[in-house]
Chain A
């Protein structure tokens, strides 16, 4: 158990809908990262938060948004869903920004858009 909790584990929804994925980082971890893993794209970095503030953005679509709350949990909102959004979405957390600290992943949310 990595200590990072993601809910839900599985989500099936229709095109055009909106969903929210939730991530609780390990206790004490200030930095949260969101990744998308689809079959043809590998692991793509979406967005990073550090202590409530957006730190970095990757290949995140405008239809997607995220935030980190004061208790450090984070939510990833996906709207106007398309079939191509079907993927495994991971959250990872790290205690600090420095690259010399490990990052641990949650179990992922498998999103299927039908």
Chain B
């Protein structure tokens, strides 16, 4: 079974500081994808960044980077130079191997990030 664990229910960070949101996962699938989504108060789910299990380099998308440590089964999201607009709920998710019927997204419980001016 796929499992995502986010241990930080909430975080408060000063504007312009970097922030790391933790995510650990559990799977026995040979290949999988790891994702981060942002959900602002308006409710939509915004795709931020993706990391494939076979990718050698950590993914980056603008101010977002994914610190992927495969041996530790962790996929932490790093947001550099945080902005007030980064205040939102952040979800870590995983898609497993479709050969095992695990291609649906499994989500963690989320981390509510609040940026303080």
Contacts and interface: CB of A to CB of B under 8 A. Distances in A.
Nearest to A47: B104
B104 A105 contact: no
Contacts of B50: 102
Given A42-B109, A43-B91, A100 B52 contact: yes
A25 interface: no
Contact of A105 (B33, B45, B52): B45
Nearest to A6: B44
Contacts of B97: 98-99
Interface of A: 2, 31, 33, 35, 42-43, 45, 48, 55-56, 58, 88, 90, 92, 94, 96-108, 110
Interface of B: 29, 31-33, 35, 37, 43-47, 50, 52-54, 91, 94-98, 101-107, 109-110
Given A99-B33, A105-B47, 4 more contacts: A2-B47, A99-B103, A100-B53, A102-B35
